[in-house]
Amino acid sequence: MKAVAEPVATLALEPVAERAGVARLMTRNRSVLFGGAILALVVLVAALAPVLGTTDPAQVEPVLRNKRPGAVTGTRNADGTQTERTHWMGTDSLGRDVYSRVLYGARVSLIVGISVALISTAVGLVIGVMAGYVRWLDGIVMRIMDGLMSIPAILLAIGLVSLSRAGLRTVIIAIVIPEVPRVVRLVRSVVLSIREEPYVEAATALGARTPMLLVRHVLPNTLAPLIVQGTFICASAILVEAILSFLGVGIPPETPTWGNIMAEGRALFRIFPHNILFPGLFLALTVLGVNILGDGLRDSLDPRLRSRL
Amino acid sequence: MLPYIGRRLLATVPVMAVVAVVVFMLLRLTTGDPAAIIAGDNATSQDVEAIRTKLGLDRPIVQQFVIWIGNILRGDLGESFFFKKQVSELIAERVEPTLALAICTLLLAVSVAVPLGVLAAWRRGTWIDRGVMGLSVLGFSVPVFVIGYLLIYLVAIQLAWLPVQGYQRLADGVGGFLERLVLPSLTLAIIYVALIARITRASVLEVLNADHVRTARAKGLGDAAVLVRHVLRNAAVPIVTVIGLGVALLIGGVVVTESVYAIPGLGRLTVDAVLARDYPTVQGVILLFSVVYVLINLVVDLSYTFLDPRIRY
């Protein structure tokens, strides 16, 4: 029995060993570890927001408005006892606890960043593969993509959110549309170069059908650049969402997002700068983490891209 | 050369057509009825109908598009729902602050970023290189408005060196004009510096290893002469390309920066128009910015022949 089991075990291990190689390659890179750690921290903060937060982020308390960071306030309970609370990041002009709002804001930023990255790479992948493989589609699709790319991304997003009532879904779609052409271009260029490879020609000569070719040879080659591109899209989506909220055209102001907290703090910025500085710090740190992660992934997954941007 | 310019100009036609269709669709895709929006809350259904006929909204969509394009080519961007003025007039009023901000930022960014990028490449692997690259990643990550408020807080409020917000027309005095442009330009320049410094470093690094650079060194040319005459000249094409592409970032940044610094420019107009659901103005501004962006990149493409005489089309 034992003699039979052994070769089976080694056979089954093979793909696992291969994956471990990629994983090791990625974790050996210091940027991947550092950026990943920052991102993990933000994910943790977002997930644990109800535990870490001291107050309901939407609770308006006019008595407590405009407290400086670190202020301790007491509220009287029904039974006459006092509950003391420390506002680590102060309160805003409606008396909401900025610290709790910042924690919950991490959720919105991450949801927007990750969904925009996933949706735009998925949509871009499909369109890009079609443009790269179907000759007559290529010209039309690429002209449309060129046109979309010549509208500055933030402007296009602002224009798109103005179309319907602002909300999480509208904001995500408005950020996805300007990002798609960049993914399409990337995927198309990979597809175009792969289809000229001798091994793909060989597969074609051997009678492999197009869907099979795409799945077996083209898709795996788009994976590495897509992961890298997706990371950068995630970073820019988080920034654009914050900009939209900050300008007042994004997610409705009562939802705690980093952009909304800052927008709220604008009026009294000269006296109470904490409303802008704390969410701004978190926002910058998150985007920095994702960008560093992207840099590291690019260096470890695709050495050819290293010399470029 | 001339045929190339001609071909390049022709290539922008489909791009502009797509831009026009997208911008046109922006108004048609709205959930609300534009005629009802213009008419306001107290309008009767006859009023709405009259406005619809006046604007041609009752005609087939293709016909509407043709009329719209025809008007735009004649410089008529329509009338603003909110400001009750011609959009072209509105844009003309607001163009000076935006142009001043953009030019200031561009000059500042290029004059800082190119030397930084060259320095980083020249001292590759040292702490200077790592510092510049680190700052560049940081520049990409800190949002424009956070930089803006930080600068306002430190320079204008704490140190009180510069005015906090606002804009002064050039005609009202150069001193006040420049004084109020320093902080916004600095704010906007940071992300642009990050972008240009990165590409400058990458592009200079490639040229530094070239044979002709070794030859120039071997014949005893000083570092400065080698860098400027032999390296930077040959590294110019990618740098200029990125400066052109970066104008998209600049335009996006203008919208935010003008809001932070309360500058009455086109960016501010865009945000105000979106908040007021003033679609003709939104369309007009987006169209204008896109045309400018396409034209700048056209000029960049054409400049290749001057920057690198080997490029012949």
H/E run at residue A74: strand A71-76
Contact B189, B107 (CB under 8 A): no
**Residue closest to B278 by CA, chosen among B30, B20, B75:** B30
| Alpha helices (runs of H) in A29-91, residue ranges in sequence order | 30-47, 49-52
For residue A83, the cross-strand partners are A75
This prediction has a pTM of 0.84
Q: Which residues of B touch A284 (CB under 8 A)?
A: 141-143, 146
Using the CB atoms, write b or e for B89-110: b if 16+ within 10 Å. ebbeebebbbebbbebbbebbb
Q: What is the pLDDT of residue A198?
A: 86
Contact A252, A75 (CB under 8 A): no
Tell whether the torsion through CA atoms of A285, A286, A289 and A290 is positive or negative.
Answer: negative
- B19, B275, B282 member nearest A248 (Cβ): B275
Contact A228, A294 (CB under 8 A): yes
Tokens of B95: 């163009």
A227 CB-contact burial (10 Å; exposed 0-12 / middle 13-18 / buried 19+):
middle
Residue given tokens 């003709």 in the structure block: B280
**Residue closest to B193 by CA, chosen among B144, B235, B232, B228:** B144
Give B280-312 pLDDT, tens digit per residue. 888 889 889 998 988 888 888 888 877 777 766
Q: Which residue of chain B comes nearest to A293, CA vs CA?
A: B137
**Residue closest to B30 by CA, chosen among B280, B269, B271, B252:** B280
Low-confidence stretches of chain B (pLDDT beneath 50) = none
Q: Which residues of A touch B15 (CB under 8 A)?
A: 143, 146-147, 150
Count Cα atoms within 13 angstroms, Cβ side, for B195.
Answer: 21
Q: CB B146 to CB A150 under 8 A?
A: no
User: ipTM of this model?
Assistant: 0.83
pLDDT, block means (10 residues), chain A with 309 residues: 43 44 65 87 82 68 66 67 68 72 86 94 92 86 88 87 80 92 91 84 83 81 87 92 88 84 78 81 90 85 53
- A165, A242, A269 member nearest B143 (Cβ): A242
Residue given tokens 């779609």 in the structure block: A173
| Alpha helices (runs of H) in B29-75, residue ranges in sequence order | 34-39, 45-55, 61-73
Q: What is the pLDDT of residue A112?
A: 92
Contact A124, A183 (CB under 8 A): yes
Contact B273, B282 (CB under 8 A): yes
Please provide the distance, in angstroms rounded to a whole number, between the alpha carbons at the two ends of chain A: 56
> B17 — contact with chain A (CB < 8 Å)?
yes
* Residue A75, min C-alpha distance to chain B (Å): 32
* Residue B221, min C-alpha distance to chain A (Å): 27
Q: CB B146 to CB A152 under 8 A?
A: no
Average pLDDT, chain A: 79
Q: What is the pLDDT of residue A10?
A: 42
* CA separation, residue B41 to residues A22, B29, B53, B81, B82 (Å): 62, 21, 19, 13, 13
